[in-house]
Amino acid sequence: MSERLFTLLREERKRLETAIAKAEESGSADPSEVKRLKMLHRIVNEQICSWMRDLYGKDPEELMLAA
């Protein structure tokens, strides 16, 4: 179950990264929309990091091995 959630969050992070890149590249995107996408990306990334710390501990070497 937790691996499926990690997979979903990673997919969402990639989707947001693509959306941010497209919005910034086009130049016609509303700046508030780009900001919203960046905030969502940050939230998803923080959740992934938080779960990894909970599962693998706070030691950077352990996290590197887990990744």
What is the dihedral sign for C-alpha 44, 49, 17, 14? negative
- Confirm if 51 and 43 have CB atoms less than 8 A apart: no
Q: How far apart are the first and last CA of the chain?
A: 18
**pLDDT for 2-51, tens place per residue?**
788 889 999 999 999 999 999 999 888 889 999 999 999 999 999 998 88
pLDDT at 18: 96
Q: How confident is the model at residue 55 (pLDDT cuts 50, 70, 90)?
A: confident
What pLDDT score does 21 carry?
94
Q: Kindly give, in sequence order, each residue whose CB lies less than 8 Å from that of residue 45, ignoring residues fewer than 6 positions away.
A: 13
Cα–Cα distance for residue pair 27/24, rounded to 1 Å: 5
Distance, CA of 40 to CA of 42 (rounded, Å):
5
